[in-house]
Amino acid sequence: MKKLRLIAALVLVAGYAQAQYGAADSAVIVRPFKIFDNLYYVGNSFVSAYLLRTDKGLVLIDALYGKDTAYTPAAARQLGFRDKDIRYILCTHGHYDHCEGAGFVQRMTGARIGMTAPDWDMAEGKIKAPYTSVNNKLTRDRVIRDGDSLQMGNTTIYFFETPGHTPGVLSMRFPVRDGNKTYTAFMFGGVGLNFDGVERTEMYLRSVDRIQKMAGIEVNISNHPGPGKIFERARQLANRKPGDPHPFVDAAAFQSWLNELKQGAEQKLAEEKKKAGSPH
């Protein structure tokens, strides 16, 4: 049985070379796959979505968009779960590619939706912002604040508001399990520098600095597949031999990535200050 599962995994990842990180409108579906015993990838080739399994149901992290709106519950069924097993939908921020599908999944499953207040405003169209959609059709549900947590049976998700990419980016820390080992995973909920202004860039830098100071993060669960090398690591996972380390457990790579984000943001800050005519 283990050999059959490995063969299936190798067939699965054979298509990853085709799943590049291009534009949102050219994204292709990626067959769902298990990353840890309690974490599954259910996104497409452009944007990530995950199912976190607890003994009290599933937590869906981000919900896709457009033609792929219905995919996350379909992926859950492919993995052997039921629609009603999805109890919570957590949106990392209010851009359409992360939250447009949340309303659909909520209506299908009865799940609650959680997002920060500033990004609820974006998702509901109360403030004008790029990368939002009139197709969200979201009803404001749980408003998540910095320092909140969600207890789902044997799993606690800790929330952090890390603004910059949007005014209310939601980041989170949670446990992932591999056999008898438990690791600390982190999702930085918005890392792109596709915004304008000195103030927002300074907010972004403060968020990166805050995350850098968090101790014990071992796994980077990125909300786009590229930054966390999700597909590359999945290929390694499919070829993992007994006794090999889990390829997603890489604390040093996480810190190195944060350093890259910081360098990019510092360069952007200098450019934004120049545009604004600020001497400092």
Question: Domain tally for the chain?
Answer: 1
Q: Residue 7: is its pLDDT beyond 50?
A: no
Q: What is the pLDDT of residue 32?
A: 98
CATH of the domain at 231: 3.60.15.10
Q: Residue 91: is its pLDDT beyond 80?
A: yes
pLDDT tens-digit readout, 185-216: 999 999 999 999 999 999 999 999 999 999 99
* Entry pTM: 0.90
Q: Tokens for 128?
A: 């004008």
**CA dihedral of 241, 242, 244, 246, whole degrees rounded to 10:** 90
pLDDT tens-digit readout, 128-169: 766 676 566 687 899 999 999 999 999 999 999 999 999 999
Cα–Cα distances in angstroms (integers) from residue 204 to residues 33, 56, 114, 196, 197, in the given order = 31, 34, 21, 11, 11
Average pLDDT value for residue range 112-119: 96
Could you list the residue range(s) of the whole structural domain that residue 113 is in?
A: 2-276
- HSE at residue 81, side-chain half, CA atoms within 13 A, is 28
Sheet of 219-220: strands edge to edge? 149-152, 155-161, 170-178, 181-187, 219-220
pLDDT tens-digit readout, 174-189: 999 999 999 999 999 9
Q: Residue 256: is its pLDDT beyond 80?
A: yes
Q: Residue 64: is its pLDDT beyond 90?
A: yes
pLDDT tens-digit readout, 15-50: 443 344 456 677 899 999 999 999 999 999 999 999
Q: What is the pLDDT of residue 16?
A: 41
Burial of 263 (0-12, 13-18, 19+ CB in 10 A): exposed
Q: What is the pLDDT of residue 23?
A: 63
Average pLDDT value for residue range 11-17: 41
